[in-house]
Structure 1
């Protein structure tokens, strides 16, 4: 991921696989942000 973002001239946003425990690890990448719907929604069912 870092290799792709290093050689790209576009801004990179990390998508998918985002959990509450992984948010600190995103800071180690060269992405400008992250998007993860399931990381912010609480499960309301079984």
Structure 2
């Protein structure tokens, strides 16, 4: 459809921007690192 053709470039730009933002956020914060360590500890203790 015409609307889809008109929106395609915008969606592509938005997707790129979101991907870049996501990649920036995926660097683990101290809290995230702590939580994952805690999870691993609990799983290891259960097993």
Which category describes the TM-score, using the shorter chain as reference length?
under 0.3
Q: Greater CA radius of gyration, 1 or 2?
A: 2
TM-score by length of 1: 0.23
Structure number with higher helix proportion: 2
TM-score by length of 2: 0.23
Structure number with higher strand proportion: 1
With a CA cutoff of 8 Å and minimum separation of 6, indicate the structure with the bigger relative contact order. Answer: 1
